[in-house]
Amino acid sequence: MALGTAALGSFRGLIVDALWYRAYKLKDDGKYYEANQLSHIITQLQPRFPQVWIFHAWNMAYNISVATHTKEERWYWVNKGIRLLRDEGLDANPDSVLIKKELAWTFFHKFGGVSD
């Protein structure tokens, strides 16, 4: 992945922008698994940018989860967002206060609050 990222050079920004647009469009069209695949590629292309991890985890835990129809589906997407932050985002950015704050907020709001 590092070699591919380096090979893209200055075109990486344009490619990432196109992927962001496509992922958002897929989510709006209800194609959640395809949007999730693009989110994974985006986080791999921008691993040291905490806001990328936060956005995609929030999108899974809040946007996609509430659009599903069963409790199991909803939990699947909430858990997927949490795992993205905890297992991948913190590995790529171990000192990121933003990622830790978002992870704590998601736990508090989804489990301790009135959301789910």
DSSP E strand stretches across 2-55: none
Residues whose CB is less than 8 angstroms from the CB of residue 60 and which lie 6 or more positions away in sequence, other chains included: 36, 39, 77, 78, 80, 81, 84
12-27 pLDDT per residue, tens: 788 888 999 999 999 9
The length of the chain, given as a count of residues: 116
Report pLDDT for 12: 77
31-76 pLDDT per residue, tens: 999 999 999 999 988 899 999 999 999 999 999 999 998 999 999 9
User: pTM of the full predicted structure?
Assistant: 0.85
What the block records as the tokens of 103 is: 């992870």
Cα angle 13, 18, 21; round to 5: 125
Interatomic CA distance for residues 71 and 27, integer angstroms? 19
